Structure 1
Amino acid sequence: MVPADKPLTGKTILVTREVSQAGALSRSLDERGATTVVCPLIGFSPRSDWAAVDRCLERLCEYDGLLFTSVNAVEFTFRRMEEQGIPLENARGITTYTVGPATAEALASWGVSVERLPDQYQAEGLASVLEQETVQGKRFLFPRARKAREWLPRFLEERGARVDLAVVYETRRADENAGLLREILGKEKLDYLAFTSSSTVSAFTALAGSGPTKEAWQKITAACIGEITAATARTEGFLQILTARSSTIPGLVKAIEDHVEGKG
């Protein structure tokens, strides 16, 4: 029995994160009294051909900086280095830039420190940190997903930097969960759909179905981790969108809590 004094008591929230990452968000919502329904809509896998990336990782000393904008990029990069016997010390000696606290924490678990976090936890925030330094003539390695925004590399290249893109993982839609998602939408009275990336939004709309089903889910509040995710939700047809002020899991949970309490 959930105590009635918890802020999210009586609210049912769909968590769409990849299965290994859904737990932290679900636990945080559960602790605040919510009923969470987990249906992973995306998955991640390492790239199949590593030859080009391995060459970059073997020559890390040639780079002036490493750029990371996701926890996944950190994990896939350092696991590959470990598998290939590339000394992790090579990365620890390079200035490393990251998009937010979760990514910084992932880097710390590999012994890599970040000097400063941006105020805004997305590519634009990271750019504001880099803009305070001289990037002209510098070379950066940017490990990332195959499908990713081109904004940050373009920003740096326009200022005279060289950015080598290293695709270290693929994001795939979890088509195997389409039936589960439609079953949940047909059975559960959902108050919020929690989206932690544009990929989860796009996967949801692709798998949820159209017609009367779409008319129903369009009216559920899409709780988005940041402005980029919210923009995708608008493009995909959501009518009620809630955006976290801080692009973090705690920020997303706080946004839902404030919305329930009439503060958002």
Structure 2
Amino acid sequence: MTEQGKVYLVGAGVGNQDYLTFRGQELISTAEILIYDALVDEALLSLTSENCLRLCVGKRGGQVSTPQEKINQLLVAYCLQGKQVVRLKSGDPFIFGRANEEIAALQTANCSYEIVPGISSVLAAPLLAGIPLTDKELSRYFVVISGHQPEQLNWSALAKIDTLVILMGGRSLPSIIQSLIDNGRSRLEPIAIIRNCGRSQQQVFQGTLTDIVETTRGVSLSPAVIVIGEVVKLSNQDAQKVIPSLHPLANKTILVTRAESQSSKFTKLLQQQGAKVVEMPALAITPPSSWHELDQAIANIAQFQWLILTSANGVNYFFERLENLGYDARILGGVKIAVVGRKTAAVLQKRQLNPDFIPPNYVADSLAANFPEELTAKKILFPRVETGGREVLVRELTSKGGEVIEVAAYQSKCPEQIEQTAWKALQQRQIDVVTFASSKTVRNFYQLLQQQLSSAEAVQSLLENICLASIGPQTSKTCHELLGRFDLEAKEYTLEGLTTAIANYNFG
């Protein structure tokens, strides 16, 4: 019997993750199916797990839209399959969100559901523009309306309301204004239009009923919230400067070179700083050409005093092979484990194992320089990438008296061709930063660009006005060798450190 599924109608709030509720974030991160609206900030999608199916069913005026009946069917179908479904709606689910129709469909099918509130743009947009909706002298009350079909509204009554808040009114703005004026509203009535509230692209247009149409001519007023009333005069202009300052990478597009099929924690870190991220696979991670050496080392693991793991890939491939051979972590009872980097340590800890040693600077060179014990006559197992890895670690450990047994645990290759979205963004000069978290990603990135361009000079010309960001000294050295330069290097050689370095970079 299929386990009972559940549908969560979640309000995404406005803008990015900053305005999402904790409950909403928790549900998005554990969802098996995410069905979301067009107005939901794309940064929220990065909160989902790798295995989450994400379906956009957004409705935008003048564009192809998913029929409401189809959305209802999707919710019911996945729930009946036993899935945990998040229906992510912009703002709050119960404000012009057609949630009642979806709930009715779920109830008819006996599907379990829960409603999670979100911050509506009705309240957030005026607030983030510094406009109070109520004031003891200027606004005793306000009314919220949809501007989608203005001809159906009672403008005689609405013209008498102190403050009007209008959603979905951008296309109908001239009609709305004329209806108010025809029903006695002053032509000099203040009006504000808040576009993209809560996002780095937030804009606020102010004027009167006489001039606002001309002021916004040529501007797409979707999504936007319209506020009409004397309270607009109380607008705090400083409030409009808050949004960009929250996100140091707002309006920056960053290309992240990463491994194929790997969810990028780095992408999430950058999006939290306001960046738009384009991911470009620059590493293809596969099993080694032969398991023979690794299998032999595992069978004789009791001979080793230390196991060294220098990457998340090394951890995953080693332990997956261990399990495939019928062993578990208890076989390592007499072996100490050294890792390079906090990410590697975190992946190891997911397997309920803590490293015995992490070097202070998170790089392989530091591991050898700071090894915690005498290595004379010690036998060290080093599962590593099959080809292309650095030899300095093995050389340094050997010079200290250790016997290092290197075995191939995985291969790291260059993808066969460049990812087209990334290539198009580079060609159209849309990229502000390219990031590199290893020397291998630099080499493969360079190789992929050379497939498209005629020369090394052409590669450097393409990257001329792009910031090249490196995670550490060895990666910076490779950038300099192949790309002619690097522009910034993380002070702490981690993804968090690289994120901080980019956020603090002076783009000039």
TM-score, normalised on structure 2?
A: 0.49
What is the aligned partner in structure 1 of residue 306 from structure 2? 65
Alignment of 1:86 with 2:86, yes or no, is no
SS in 2 for 1:40: strand
Deviation at 1:118, TM superposition (A): 1.3
SS in 1 for 2:483: coil
Deviations 1:163-208 (A, max 9, x none): 0001100001112325444322112421110111111111111111
Contact 2:469 / 2:488 at 8 angstroms: preserved in 1? yes
SS in 1 for 2:370: helix
1:186 to 411, 424, 427: 427
Contact 2:256 / 2:434 at 8 angstroms: preserved in 1? yes
Alignment of 1:250 with 2:496, yes or no, is yes
For 1:11-30, list aligned pairs within 5 A: 11-30=252-271
Distance 1:40 1:157 in 2: 34
Alignment of 1:133 with 2:379, yes or no, is no
Deviations 1:41-90 (A, max 9, x none): 11100113111210101111110100111111000000001111123211
Contact 1:57 / 1:86 at 8 angstroms: preserved in 2? no
Letter in 1 for 2:380: F
Instruction: Choose 1 or 2 for highest CA Rg.
Output: 2
2:471 to 225, 244, 247: 225
Contact 2:317 / 2:409 at 8 angstroms: preserved in 1? yes
1:207 to 448, 458, 462: 448
What is the aligned partner in structure 1 of residue 227 from structure 2? none
Distance 2:504 2:333 in 1: 40
Distance 1:9 1:213 in 2: 27
Letter in 2 for 1:89: R
Distance 2:486 2:323 in 1: 44
What is the aligned partner in structure 2 of residue 102 from structure 1? 343
Contact 1:65 / 1:140 at 8 angstroms: preserved in 2? yes
Contact 1:181 / 1:207 at 8 angstroms: preserved in 2? no
Contact 1:233 / 1:241 at 8 angstroms: preserved in 2? no
When residues 22 and 201 of structure 1 are mapped into structure 2, their CA distance, relative to the original with a 3 A threshold, is farther
Contact 2:479 / 2:486 at 8 angstroms: preserved in 1? no
What is the aligned partner in structure 2 of residue 113 from structure 1? 354
Greater shift after overlay, 133-142 or 172-181?
172-181
When residues 152 and 182 of structure 1 are mapped into structure 2, their CA distance, relative to the original with a 3 A threshold, is same
TM-score, normalised on structure 1?
A: 0.92
Deviation at 1:161, TM superposition (A): 1.1
Contact 1:16 / 1:22 at 8 angstroms: preserved in 2? no
Distance 1:104 1:110 in 2: 10
Contact 2:278 / 2:422 at 8 angstroms: preserved in 1? no
SS in 1 for 2:491: coil
What is the aligned partner in structure 1 of residue 318 from structure 2? 77
Contact 1:99 / 1:122 at 8 angstroms: preserved in 2? yes
Contact 2:260 / 2:285 at 8 angstroms: preserved in 1? no
Alignment length, in residue pairs? 261
Q: Per chain length, whose mean CA-contact separation is higher, i.e. which structure has more relative contact order (CA < 8 Å, sep 6+)?
A: 1
Identity of aligned residues (%): 30
When residues 161 and 212 of structure 1 are mapped into structure 2, their CA distance, relative to the original with a 3 A threshold, is closer
Distance 1:228 1:219 in 2: 23
Deviation at 1:129, TM superposition (A): 2.6
Distance 1:186 1:261 in 2: 20
Deviations 1:7-29 (A, max 9, x none): 11111110111134452111111
Distance 1:184 1:91 in 2: 47
Cα-Cα RMSD: 1.8
Distance 1:218 1:95 in 2: 46
Contact 2:427 / 2:462 at 8 angstroms: preserved in 1? no
Contact 2:310 / 2:384 at 8 angstroms: preserved in 1? yes
Contact 1:92 / 1:111 at 8 angstroms: preserved in 2? no
Contact 2:294 / 2:409 at 8 angstroms: preserved in 1? yes
Deviation at 1:124, TM superposition (A): 1.3
Letter in 2 for 1:246: E
Deviations 1:117-169 (A, max 9, x none): 21111111111231x41100000000110121111111111122100001100
Greater shift after overlay, 69-78 or 108-117?
108-117
Letter in 1 for 2:302: C
Letter in 2 for 1:234: H
Unpaired segments ≥5 residues, structure 2: 1-198, 201-242
Contact 1:195 / 1:224 at 8 angstroms: preserved in 2? yes
Contact 1:196 / 1:224 at 8 angstroms: preserved in 2? yes
Letter in 1 for 2:390: R
When residues 213 and 165 of structure 1 are mapped into structure 2, their CA distance, relative to the original with a 3 A threshold, is closer
